[in-house]
Amino acid sequence: MVSVIILTKNAEHTLADCMSNVRDIADEILVIDSGSSDRTVEIAKINNARVIEHQMENFADQRTMAISLAKGDWLLYVDADEFATKRFCAEVKKVINTYDPESGIGGYFIRRKTYYLGKDWGFTDSVQRLFLKKKLLRWEGVVHETPKIIGEFGYIESPVHHFTHQNLSQMLHKTIEWSDYEAQLRFDAKHPFMTPLRFVRVMGTGFLDSYIKGKGYRNGTEGFIEGIYQGYSMFITYAKLWEKQINKKKTV
């Protein structure tokens, strides 16, 4: 039995398609919602998902909670803006049906083909998403969470399509939300006090990593917009860090 786990918050525009594309492999779909104010929960229930509404503490907590709630022997985590391909579903079925308990494998990386603003970015990454439930111990990390498993990881070669940053409004909303976690991490790590030069450096790094190192320049106007956005995103995160640092000084 396979449980597909989807973490959501205000995902009404993508959730139905996401769920539809994993129907071939899902014996159950478990949606962990962290306080959506749109139709996300309604859409999940209409599409026969089991919905758990749980206030967000961090992403690792949401993913770990799902382990005990899921009914399946296998757990597949997908995000609401990720769409499984038929090739991906077929390969997952094959991996599960031919799984050798003596292999030492406890989980699998999956490949994601990335789209920004609806444009194929020519970029793929690999993330740990498919697990034998009894070998998945927990998730760790506040934002960039990672799983702790018993055993080693294998690989699913067929990709899912990741439609991140579908429009500018969504991009800005995500920045405001995620930057709270990112700023807190840096504050807890006692990051040096923010100065104008540090702002310039982190914003420049955000832009250059996206536009030059990430080869965003190959993607025309969309690539330039994404590069500027990454610099802006870094500015918001570090401005929130600066605000926390200033508030701490005022209380000392």
Instruction: Dump pLDDT digits (tens) for 207-228.
Output: 999 999 988 898 899 999 999 9
Given 164, 186, 203, which residue is the final one in a domain?
A: 164
pTM of the entire predicted model = 0.85
Residue 54 shares a structural domain with residue 93: yes
- pLDDT of 119 higher than 90: no
Residue 204 shares a structural domain with residue 104: no
Question: Which carries the bigger pLDDT value, residue 120 or residue 131?
Answer: 131
Residue 69 shares a structural domain with residue 135: yes
Among 28, 176, 160, which residue's Cα sits nearest to residue 86? 160
Residue 136 shares a structural domain with residue 227: no
**pLDDT tier, 160 (very low <50, low <70, confident <90, very high otherwise):** very high
Question: Which carries the bigger pLDDT value, residue 251 or residue 34?
Answer: 34
Q: What is the mean pLDDT of residues 141-149?
A: 84
Residue 18 shares a structural domain with residue 80: yes
- pLDDT of 240 higher than 90: yes
Report pLDDT digits (tens) over 66-110: 999 999 999 999 999 999 999 999 999 999 999 999 999 999 999
Residue 101 shares a structural domain with residue 126: yes
Given 164, 179, 208, which residue is the final one in a domain?
A: 164
Residue 9 shares a structural domain with residue 128: yes
Residue 72 shares a structural domain with residue 117: yes
From CA 66, how far away is CA 8, in angstroms rounded? 13
Residue 181 shares a structural domain with residue 59: no
- pLDDT of 144 higher than 80: no
Given 164, 182, 200, which residue is the final one in a domain?
A: 164
Q: What is the mean pLDDT of the chain?
A: 92
- What does the pLDDT read at residue 143? 66
- pLDDT of 12 higher than 80: yes
- What does the pLDDT read at residue 137? 96
Q: What is the mean pLDDT of residues 47-56?
A: 92
DSSP string, the chain: -EEEEEEESS-TTTHHHHHHHTTTT-SEEEEEES--SSSHHHHHHHTT-EEEE---S-HHHHHHHHHHH---SEEEEEETTEEE-HHHHHHHHHHHHT--GGG-EEEEEEEEEEEETTEEEEEEEEEEEEEEGGGEEEEE-SSS-EEEESSEEEEEEEEEEEEE--SHHHHHHHHHHHHHHHHHHHHHTTPPPP-HHHHHHHHHHHHHIIIIIT-GGGGHHHHHHHHHHHHHHHHHHHHHHHHHHHHHHHH-
**pLDDT tier, 116 (very low <50, low <70, confident <90, very high otherwise):** confident
- Domain residue limits at 129: 2-164
Domain count, the chain: 2
Report pLDDT digits (tens) over 163-212: 987 788 878 888 887 888 889 889 999 999 999 999 999 999 999 999 99
Residue 212 shares a structural domain with residue 230: yes
Residue 51 shares a structural domain with residue 150: yes
Q: What is the mean pLDDT of residues 36-47?
A: 94
Residue 132 shares a structural domain with residue 232: no
